[in-house]
Amino acid sequence: METSKAKLGEDHPDTLTSMGNLALIYSNQGRWEEAEKLQMQVMETRKAKLGEDHPKTLISMNNLASTYGKQGRWGEAEKLQMQVMETSKAKLGEDHPDTLTSMGNLALIYWHQGRWEEAEKLQMQVMETSKAKLGEGHPDTLMRMNNLAFIRNSRHEERAKGMMPISLLAILLALFLFLN
C-alpha cells in the first residue's frame, strides 16, 4: 500500500483498492480503529473522485457498515447500509445482484437488532428476486435461501424446519458442481 501511495498517489484507484483490502484485514482481526480510519478515507476519496452512486463507492460504504456491525454498532451500520441499498436500487435497479446483496446485508442488520419481521420480509424479497433473476440453482440464490432459513430458524418457526437442510444441501451440491 505504501509503495502504491508513493508511486501512484493516495487517490489512485489501485491505491484505494489496496487501502480497502488492508482495512478489511484489520476489520477481520478486530483492529476496529485502524479499519474504520482506512475505510472512511477510502469511502470519502471515492465519493469525491467517483461520486456517491459509483459502485466502488457503494462497496466502500458497505465495508464500513460491516465494520460497524462487527462492533455491534447496529444503528450506524443500518444507516449506512440503508444508504447503500437505496442508492444501489436507484443506480443499478432493484434486481441487480449488488442491490440484492445490500438488501440481504440490511436484513441481517435487522436480525441482529431483533427486528425479526423486517429481517424476514426483506430477506424473502431478496430470495424471490434472486430466484427470478438468477434461477433457483444459482449459488447466490441458494445462499439467500439459506439466509432466509437462518432468520426463520432463529425465530424458532415451524416453516423453517424443512427449509434449512434443503438449502444447505443445495448449497453444498452447487459448490461441488462449481468446483468440479
Strands (E) in the chain, as ranges, are: none
Dist CA 38 CA 67 (whole Å): 11
C-alpha closest to that of 99 among 109, 86, 117, 111: 86
26-70 confidence digits (pLDDT tens): 999 999 999 999 999 999 999 999 999 999 999 999 999 999 999
Computed over every residue of the chain, the mean pLDDT equals 87
Question: pLDDT value at position 132?
Answer: 96
User: Other CB atoms closer than 10 Å to residue 132's CB: what's the count?
Assistant: 11
pTM above 0.95, yes or no: no
96-131 confidence digits (pLDDT tens): 999 999 999 999 999 999 999 999 999 999 999 999
User: Other CB atoms closer than 10 Å to residue 150's CB: what's the count?
Assistant: 19
Instruction: Report percent pLDDT > 90 for the chain.
Output: 67
Burial class of 17 by CB neighbour count within 10 A (0 to 12, 13 to 18, 19+): middle
Region of residue 138 (phi > 0: left; psi between -120 and 50: alpha; otherwise: beta): beta
Average pLDDT over residues 143-168: 69
Give the SS3 label for residue 136: coil
- Calculate helix-pair angle for 97-112, 116-134, nearest 10 degrees: 160
Instruction: Give the cell for residue 55.
Output: 459502485
